[in-house]
Each structure stands twice: as structure tokens, then as C-alpha cells.
Amino acid sequence: MTNVTAMKYVFAFCLSLLASGPLFAIDASISYATFQSPEQPYIEVYLHIAGSSVRYVPAGDSTLQANVEVVLLFKQEDEVVKFDKFTLNSPAVERPVDFIDLKRFGLDNGTYQLVVAVRDLNQEGNAKEYNTEVAINYDPGELAQSDLELLSRYSRVEGEISDNESLFVKNNLLMEPLPYNFYGRNASRLHFYNEVYNADENIGEDFVISYAVEQLVDNDKTEKSLLAYRREKAAPVVPVLQSVDISELPSGNYRLIVEVLNRERQLLSRKSVFFQRSNPYLEKEPIRMDSFDISREFVQELDAETVEYSLRALTAKMPQPDVDFVDGLIRNDSLRLQRLYLFNYWVGESPNNPKAAYDKYMEIARAVDELYDSGFRHGFETDRGHIYLKYGQPDDTELRDQEPTAPPYEIWTYYEFPRTNQNNVKFVFYNPSLAPGDFVLLHSTAIGEIQNPQWLRELYRNAPNQIQGDDYFGGQGVQDNFMRNAQRVFDDY
């Protein structure tokens, strides 16, 4: 049997948001998995919308609801093969929540361009478009595997279920897809679903499913972390639902690999999927709050206001799980724990002289606070201040505030960007509110930051008759004009 190797392409976008609301960028995870059926192969497209990134409006009876327009299509060359446009409504709730949806499409074997456009119907300009390539290849009668679907949770179906829940049911299993292919610090298990096809005709006896987790390290090397096997009986369709303990899996990038083997352990088929793991405290000794003495350390001399200020200034340097943790410490007025975190962070940065490292950083943070003070929050809590503290001073900045069809905007350039091993990295900030200093991040070329391919259209939205391209079919630019300089400034390096 020919070795069948395939990778599920997953694309997910998680955008940083201000606490006050969306930053004209829906926080959405969009992924997919392909499957085989007796009639035709099909694809499932999973949508997960972060409730904090869309606007909820009153829905009656003291409840709120969000409404997102979704345009979903498959193209081959210039031909649209499948198309769907619908409104995805959140549940009616008292406060914003995340919400999900699933769509199935029958497709013949081939390569397609999947395009998904999402738009907040309650907030003008809050929209994103995503696209990726999809390959479907299931030969009738041949041994094959579906794509691997990572799950946030699952349960056996018992009794009545709602129409919405029925979308997520397969082989009597109610399965909720995992958004962003990301496991945070509180995740302890990895759940996945896979289907093996035509094992009865091609194997004809019991066979083995092996699953492994490999960590991706520098220079494309891998290190195998977990490995296990399970025996299955041959059948036309063999559903595989497995749960793996990842509580001891360190932070990093990984690949889940699922293989079909015969009794002689010969490889017959293989599938894999990429995921990320954040486990920030795995390799650290737990802090014993009842015995750790900071009474003689520099943080003990800082009053409550200074400690909170210092922690907020440090947000740009923290991993995201720590940001949530520190926010909780601040809300709960846990001054001793705030001091403990602050001290522990700077000991990690400079074990021999944490106070000197703290003082040096805070000198920069105060300068950034003053430089980007908007009157609404600390200067280092603005987008420009946050990026400055996170990545350092840009090599070049260009401010434009006299273009009649655009709000003031500023473009930063980093010639070298060691954080992601990139060069000539750009950040575009703009001020749609026109409030003093209220610049927000519109687009960046830095890996892991907001990447908005339609940033020019958003910047020049006051000149809609100059927009080039269709809303949902790749239009991203505006017509050139001597008073529209953003693209020229962006390209000048």
C-alpha cells in the first residue's frame, strides 16, 4: 500500500484588542477538516468568533446578541465552485460570549482556494477576510484517513439535542472544534478525531493506530514527546476518538501525527496537524506564598500605586497567560502577590541585580508613558506605546496628518526584527477618532501581530469611490493619488 501523507492546513487569526472594544478586526478562528462519504468527499469549515471582538446589541428581555455576516466560497482558478452567505448570530446572553458555527460542503477531489469573509453587522468597518488552499484527495476503495480534527471537548449523544448542536454530531459524538489550534496553560488533555476508510478491503484484519506528538525545534528538527498505540478492527469506516495527557508538555510548537499500521508495524497511512502549547510554569518551581520572603527586597519599598503602575508597564513583556493572571491580582488588590510577581519577573531577567534591571526598564516605560499619553490611559497602554516597549525603538517613523481622505497615520519600520527573524518589519497606526494621541494599530508585517490585508481600504474609507476590488473577492487597495501616500510610505525602505 502506498504511504499516504497529508497535512491539514489550518489558518487562525487572533488579534490583540483594546479593553474598550474591537480594534476594527474581528478575532476569529477559521479552520477545516476533510472527510470521505459514500456519495462524495466533503469538507467541514469551523468558525469561532471571540465575543469580545464584536459588538453586542440589545436583543430584548435584558439580553444582548452579536450578528456577524459570513461569506464563504471555494474557487478553482477564477471559477466559484461553492458559495454561501449567511448571518451567524450569537446566543442571546447577558454579557458577550464566544460563539461557533460549522458548515459542510460536498466537493470533488481537487485543489481549491477557500475564502472566508466575516463582517460585524453592528459595527461598521469591523471585518476580516481569510483565504487558504485546500486539497481533497480520496480515491474510492483505497485506504485513507480523514484530516485530524482537534477538539476542545466532546461527549456521547444521549437523548434530544438542539438543531445547532446537531451540526457538531458525527458517529453519535458531539464534538466542539478547538479554536486557534492552541492549548493554554489550563489545558491538560488533547482530544482529536480521525476517520480511517476502507480498512476492511485493504487490510482485512485487525490493525494498529499509532499517535505521537512531536515538538518542532530549530532548523526543522523534531523531538518526539509522546507515543501510544491502539488496536482497531477493520471496517468500511473506523472512527478514532482519542484523548492524550499533555499536562507535562512544555510550551512550544508541535505536530500531532496519527498513523495506520498493519500487524507487522508497516506504515500504511499517515496524517498530521500543527498545534501550539503554552505551559509557562511547567519548568519553574512553584512559589510558596506562605514562606517566600520579600521583606528585604526592593519591591517592598514600592507603594501600591507604584507597584500597579510597574505591572501595567510590564504588560508588553509578559506572555498572554501572565497578563490575565496579573490583571486578576490588580483587580483583587493583592498587593503582596503583585510585589511577589514583580520581583520574580526581574529576578528571572537579572538574577544578580533585579533592581537595576527594573529601574532601567521603568525609566524607558515612564518616557514612553509621557510620549504617547492620550489622556485616556497610560502612554504605554496605547498601541504605539505597547509596541515600543515590546519590540524597542523603531528605526524609522513617518507621521502623515494632512491627507484629506485619511485620518492621521504613522508608519514604523524596524530594519532588523530578531523576535521573529524578519527584516524590514512595518507597523501602521492610525487615528480614526481624531482624539489627541489616540492612534491604534491597523496593520503590521510582524509575525504574531495584526495583519490586515485591507488596511489601505480602512485607512482611506472616506474615499469609497476610490476603492479597488470587490468586498469579498480580494479587493484590498485604493486608487493612487498624490494625496494618498500611505502605500508609498509603506514601501519606502
- The DSSP line for 83-119 is EEEEEEEPP-BSS---EEEEEEEE--SEEEEEEEEEE
Cα distance between residue 168 and residue 433, in whole Å: 41
Contact between 484 and 405 (Cβ < 8 Å): yes
Are 159 and 202 contained in the same domain? yes
The residue behind cell 460563539 is: 99
* 291 occurs within a structural domain: no
Are 200 and 210 contained in the same domain? yes
Q: What single-letter amino acid sits at 145?
A: Q
Above 60 in pLDDT, residue 6?
no
Mean pLDDT along residues 456-468: 74
Are 453 and 361 contained in the same domain? no
Above 70 in pLDDT, residue 79?
yes
* 287 occurs within a structural domain: no
Residue 260's pLDDT is 97
DSSP one-letter code for 44: E
Are 197 and 230 contained in the same domain? yes
Q: In whole angstroms, how large is the CA radius of gyration of the chain?
A: 25
Above 70 in pLDDT, residue 467?
no
* 435 occurs within a structural domain: yes
Residue 293's pLDDT is 65
Residue 289's pLDDT is 41
Above 50 in pLDDT, residue 2?
no
Are 131 and 150 contained in the same domain? no
Are 16 and 113 contained in the same domain? yes
**What pLDDT digit, counting tens, does each position of 325-370 carry?**
888 888 877 788 888 889 888 888 887 788 999 999 999 999 999 9
Mean confidence (pLDDT) of the chain: 83
* 225 occurs within a structural domain: yes
Mean pLDDT along residues 172-190: 85
Are 268 and 220 contained in the same domain? yes
Are 81 and 182 contained in the same domain? no
DSSP one-letter code for 287: P
Contact between 439 and 408 (Cβ < 8 Å): yes
**What pLDDT digit, counting tens, does each position of 182-208 carry?**
887 678 899 999 999 999 999 999 999
* 326 occurs within a structural domain: yes
Where a domain ends, among 256, 282, 308?
Answer: 282
Cα distance between residue 102 and residue 10, in whole Å: 15
Residue 52's pLDDT is 79
Cα distance between residue 82 and residue 397, in whole Å: 44
H or E element at residue 339: helix 335-349
* Pairing relationship of beta strands 267-277 and 4-7 according to DSSP bridges: parallel
DSSP one-letter code for 18: B
Greater confidence (281 vs 236) lies with 236
List of long-range contacts for 72-80, beta carbons under 8 Å, 24+ apart: 72/45, 72/103, 72/114, 72/115, 72/116, 72/117, 73/114, 73/115, 73/472, 74/105, 74/107, 74/112, 74/113, 74/114, 74/115, 74/134, 75/112, 75/113, 75/115, 76/110, 76/111, 76/112, 76/113
* 91 occurs within a structural domain: yes
Candidate from 92-106, 302-316, 473-487 with smallest mean pLDDT:
473-487
The pLDDT confidence band at residue 419, using thresholds 50, 70 and 90, is: confident
Are 243 and 151 contained in the same domain? yes
Residue 8's pLDDT is 30
Mean pLDDT along residues 148-175: 80
Where a domain ends, among 385, 417, 451?
Answer: 385
Where a domain ends, among 385, 419, 452?
Answer: 385
CATH number at residue 71: 2.60.40.10
Above 60 in pLDDT, residue 372?
yes
**What pLDDT digit, counting tens, does each position of 250-289 carry?**
888 899 999 999 999 999 999 999 998 877 656 544 444 4
Mean pLDDT along residues 21-27: 53
What's the number of domains the chain is made of?
4
Contact between 58 and 476 (Cβ < 8 Å): no
Above 90 in pLDDT, residue 42?
yes
Q: Among 406, 410, 412, 384, which Cα is nearest to 456's?
A: 406
State the helix-helix crossing angle for 304-314 and 354-371, rounded to 10 degrees.
80
* 224 occurs within a structural domain: yes
Are 226 and 304 contained in the same domain? no
Contact between 55 and 90 (Cβ < 8 Å): no
Mean pLDDT along residues 92-119: 93
For the chain, the straight-line distance linking the first and the last C-alpha, in angstroms and rounded, comes to 53
Residues 6+ apart with CB under 8 A from 140: none
The pLDDT confidence band at residue 223, using thresholds 50, 70 and 90, is: confident
Are 108 and 173 contained in the same domain? no
CATH number at residue 200: 2.60.40.2550
* Residues across the chain: 493
Q: Among 47, 41, 170, which Cα is nearest to 119's?
A: 47
Mean pLDDT along residues 37-56: 91
What residues make up the domain containing 355? 298-385
Cα distances from 417 to residues 91, 425, 488, in angstroms, run 42, 7, 21
* 221 occurs within a structural domain: yes
CB atoms near residue 245 (< 10 Å): 11
